[in-house]
Structure 1
Amino acid sequence: MPPNTASDILSESTRPLITQDKFQELIKGGDKVFIYESKVYKVNNFIEKHPGGSAAIASALGRDVTDEIRSMHPPKVYEKMINLYYLGDYMPDISTRKLATKPKKTQQKTEQPVLELSWEGGMSVKAYDDAIEDLHKHHAKDLVEDSKAQQDLDNMKIREAYRSLEQEIHSRGLFECNYYKYAKEGCRYTTLLFLSLWFTLHGTQTWHYMAGAAFMAAFWHQLVFTAHDAGHNGITGKVEIDHIIGVIIADFIGGLSIGWWKHSHNVHHIVTNHPEHDPDIQHLPFFAITNKFFNNLYSTYHKRVLPFDAAARFFVSYQHYLYYLVLSFGRFNLHRLSFMYLLTEKNVRNRKLELSGITVFFIWFGTLLSYLPTWKIRVAYVFVSYMLTFPLHVQITLSHFGMSTEDKGPNESFPAKMLRTTMDVDCPEWLDWFHGGLQYQAVHHLFPRIPRHNLRECVPLVRQFCKDVGLHYYMYNFSTGNGVVLGGLKSVADQVTFMKEVAKNNAEIWSGEKHHTH
């Protein structure tokens, strides 16, 4: 039997080896396995108990997720707890791989290899042509193998540099939370809430009430950044404490489920911008950031087909015009998603606490609305306070909607994938409060546990890392970033319009031919 606990792990010389073929057999047999630090772990009995949600582990199964685990979890998880699920050491199949090496520079020009084949007596022309084709195929196979080997070496270089970057950030103390910054933010939150309540409860004119609604929107907008930190265990570093902080902020004060957010957001961090797996880009019928959504994709997160139906074709055709309008209704949608998660998802952590928190939210917010003089003003107050949170939804989508959605397979390194699918937003330091410090999403995706107040200091280090390993670091200012997103949305919308025109022309041609036949 394979070892199941840390005490059962065998010595180096007697540990069971799991070959690539055996690993694939485990997957086909339904076992929940992944690779971490060249070791195989089986989490059949843990996947539903995972504090970050079962979907996060499900999206990581069947591949090497060393960097994903290290980036998303504190050391005690991947140094001790993970050993409870150790199965054996992973031995990849390297028998057909070649190490790609660069040729040494010489004074003479290097000749390209020449494919040669001698004519054999009695050989037909067809047989000779077939032999030539086989030789070319064999040579092409060698080139492919060399290319894969070079890719492996490049990935190894990136991973080693990524680990060095992590150590450098650790040595600078940038993984440590700056509680002074939270004290300053607490003063801002208190001020915004006070202004909202003052205008709402002491107002005498309609604009007073609308000002109160606007300040409430600003209060929610700012508070979400701290809820985000709690969801990533980036405040105290202790899962239980940070989770309670997240519940208080998100559920009791904001009326949204922190459990739902963690359930979807952890998946987003692992399979960023993958059309079939990342829930943060699955927004049909309103948005499609790639034409891959035209094919009625199956969402592995939502466990259903995302239909590209008539409604989707209409909204996506105009998505670059509707972008900001649709996002202004984002907070209403978050309520819907929160209730769907808490009422339908299995194994929800602290389900009763979260439902109680959201109930408390509707009680206090409903009581606040009751102080307003008329129903029209109450309805207007709800819409203004909810819809003016739209900058937050723009900030959330900005870093990904205009980026690559290509699937480069399981062999792409984690840092390369994060930097390919995420952009940073450049802004003056005095504007960090507006973005919550989370405008550096590329840095955040590389190291999710770094407190957001320290992300700016990591930017030069990440930029140098990208220069050293040959990766591109995308950073635009806020207006340019919006232009990139709108341009991407328009490109997809134009393809829908083109498809409609083709269908219309085909229908006219078919109708004309039918009329001519009759």
Structure 2
Amino acid sequence: MAPEAPAGEPAPRYFTWDEVAQRSGRERERWLVVERRVYDISDFVRRHPGGSRVISHYAGQDATDAFMAFHINQGLVRKYMKSLLIGELAPDQPSFEPNKNKALTLEFRELRAAVEKMGLMKTQPSFFMLYLLHIVLLDVAAWLTLWLFGTSFVPYMLCALLLSAVQTQAGWLQHDFGHLSVCGTSTWNHVLHYFVMGHLKGAPTSWWNHLHFQHHAKPNCFRKDPDLNMHPIFFALGKVLSVELGKQKKKYMPYNHQHKYFFLIGPPALLPLYFQWYIIYFAFRRKKWVDLAWMSTFYVRLYFTYVPLLGLKGVVGLYFIVRFLESNWFVWVSQMSHIPMHIDRDQNKDWLSTQLQATCNVHKSFFNDWFTGHLNFQIEHHLFPTMPRHNYHKVAPLVQSLCAKHGVPYMSKPLFTAFADIVYSLKESGQLWLDAYLHQ
């Protein structure tokens, strides 16, 4: 029997997991569960600060661990959630969905609690101040290169290399602010995110939030992770989806050659030929005027610092060379931990299993940490997205131990092996597509 409500309070509504699972579509009610409480998010999705899609991806599911992972002030968020509460799971319902590993989930939550007690979720302000300082110094060095040595080919290209480092490293830094992992409050993280993303890089924070939070919520899940949007238009990704495409006789591209044309339309083209134009369109279409104001300061600064040295045509050429170099750097690093891993539709597994099957690490070294913005610790970053990056190496042994205990694969590679695995995985999935296309 269900427990009785205290006198004067309405009796709570009770639901089953099946009832929650039925409220998962876009055209009907959307519910989710956090700590056994059932919330109706049907109308709230449009007001969700993290974006409508990221919370909708958990409609019909248990979002407890995702909720804990993404919010740095859970007490405050719970106050706003009260208006969405419609009931709780019935007493005879288990705390975990049938397809989730109960023991693994409980131990991961214990690990998270231990990590918080160890202070690994707290930031060291000096680390990020020095990191920002090194970006500024690289930026100044790029300008001084032209001012001191002239605008001939060698100083021009050296300036481009330095600016590509500035842009890439600023990209890693804005990633920290976007994940709320630098400052103790969301407000200051958001303000500094505007500065780094808008002023230093000329891109909208709203665009990054819209895409990246979805990626973290459901990594490598087709239709939920926007990083997979190039499947199947340009690439056939993952063993499962590639075979599925082949069986359906779909051929948008010669996927069996995708490991070759990746070098043409992947790393070199993503930023200068796609993102550069789409981010401006995104900001205008969604009327993100604050983002556009911050973005404008980037282009104003670029104009007044470099046009006197290079002229307008020279600056435009420099800008696209920098974006080309940055694009190569960004794509190889961002995809080395995901494309070679398991890619499929959402299987609604437990948090740790979902993240581990979609991510892998690259070995720690001073260069690897700097070159990747500590995203060589992709596993730890995905498990604890609000953790300051300087603590990833401290939590890594604890994660490895938990994975070993439960038989969950924990993969770490050398840097260039990780790069090569992108190409190998594209070749493998392309061949799987071709075999299915020809023979099934």
Please indicate the TM-score interval, normalised by the length of the shorter structure.
0.7 to 0.9
CA RMSD of aligned residues (A): 3.0
Match of 1:268 in 2: 215
Match of 2:269 in 1: 329
CA contact (8 A) 1:293 1:308 kept: no
Match of 1:121 in 2: none
What residue identity is the alignment partner of 1:282?
A: N
What residue identity is the alignment partner of 1:212?
A: C
Q: CA deviation at 1:246?
A: 1.0
Match of 2:113 in 1: 167
- Write the distance in 1 (CA, Å) between the matches of 2:333 and 2:58: 26
Match of 1:477 in 2: 414
Cα gap change, 1:444/1:499 in structure 2, threshold over 3 Å: closer, same or farther?
A: same
CA contact (8 A) 2:32 2:59 kept: yes
Cα deviations by residue, 1:271-293 (Å, 9 ceiling, x for unpaired): 11012221012225433323626
Cα deviations by residue, 1:61-116 (Å, 9 ceiling, x for unpaired): 11111111111112224543322311101138769xxxxxxxxxxxxxxxxxxxxx
Cα deviations by residue, 1:130-166 (Å, 9 ceiling, x for unpaired): xxxxxxxxxxxxxxxxxx97x65xx110111001110
What residue identity is the alignment partner of 2:337?
A: S
SS at match of 2:202: coil
TM superposition score normalised by structure 1: 0.75
Match of 1:19 in 2: 16
- Write the distance in 2 (CA, Å) between the matches of 1:56 and 1:50: 9
- Which blocks of at least 5 consecutive residues in structure 1 are unaligned? 1-7, 96-147, 298-306, 507-518
Match of 1:340 in 2: 281
Match of 2:347 in 1: 409
- Write the distance in 2 (CA, Å) between the matches of 1:220 and 1:470: 39
Match of 1:51 in 2: 49
CA contact (8 A) 1:313 1:496 kept: no
Cα gap change, 1:408/1:215 in structure 2, threshold over 3 Å: closer, same or farther?
A: closer
Q: Greater shift after overlay, 431-440 or 450-459?
A: 431-440
What residue identity is the alignment partner of 2:32?
A: F
Q: How does 1:247-262 map to 2 (within 5 A)?
A: 247-262=194-209
Cα deviations by residue, 1:208-237 (Å, 9 ceiling, x for unpaired): 122111111101111111100111111113
Q: CA deviation at 1:16?
A: 1.6
Q: CA deviation at 1:329?
A: 2.4
CA contact (8 A) 1:294 1:308 kept: no
CA contact (8 A) 2:238 2:339 kept: no
Match of 2:129 in 1: 183
Q: CA deviation at 1:339?
A: 2.2
The reply to whether residue 399 of structure 1 matches residue 396 of structure 2 is no
From 361, 367, 373, give the equivalent of 1:436: 373
- Which blocks of at least 5 consecutive residues in structure 2 are unaligned? none
Q: How does 1:50-199 map to 2 (within 5 A)?
A: 50-74=48-72, 75-77=74-76, 79-91=78-90, 155-199=101-145
What residue identity is the alignment partner of 2:319?
A: V
Match of 1:492 in 2: 429
CA contact (8 A) 1:260 1:337 kept: no
SS at match of 1:14: coil
Q: How does 1:444-459 map to 2 (within 5 A)?
A: 444-459=381-396
Cα gap change, 1:441/1:21 in structure 2, threshold over 3 Å: closer, same or farther?
A: closer
- Write the distance in 2 (CA, Å) between the matches of 1:10 and 1:22: 28
Match of 2:159 in 1: 212
- Write the distance in 1 (CA, Å) between the matches of 2:297 and 2:166: 18
SS at match of 2:296: helix
Q: CA deviation at 1:416?
A: 0.7
Q: CA deviation at 1:445?
A: 0.7
What residue identity is the alignment partner of 1:192?
A: L
Q: CA deviation at 1:375?
A: 6.8
SS at match of 1:443: helix
Higher RCO (CA < 8 A, seq sep 6+): 2
The reply to whether residue 313 of structure 1 matches residue 311 of structure 2 is no
Q: CA deviation at 1:27?
A: 4.9
- Write the distance in 2 (CA, Å) between the matches of 1:30 and 1:258: 30
Cα deviations by residue, 1:32-70 (Å, 9 ceiling, x for unpaired): 210111110012332111111111111111111111111
CA contact (8 A) 1:9 1:15 kept: no
Q: CA deviation at 1:382?
A: 2.4
- Write the distance in 1 (CA, Å) between the matches of 2:244 and 2:281: 26
Alignment length, in residue pairs? 424
Cα gap change, 1:11/1:476 in structure 2, threshold over 3 Å: closer, same or farther?
A: farther
Larger Rg: 1
- Write the distance in 1 (CA, Å) between the matches of 2:8 and 2:102: 27
SS at match of 1:31: coil
CA contact (8 A) 2:174 2:193 kept: yes
- Write the distance in 2 (CA, Å) between the matches of 1:11 and 1:170: 38
Cα gap change, 1:343/1:187 in structure 2, threshold over 3 Å: closer, same or farther?
A: closer
The share of aligned pairs that are identical, in percent, is: 22
Cα gap change, 1:322/1:367 in structure 2, threshold over 3 Å: closer, same or farther?
A: farther
Cα gap change, 1:408/1:271 in structure 2, threshold over 3 Å: closer, same or farther?
A: closer
CA contact (8 A) 1:282 1:288 kept: no
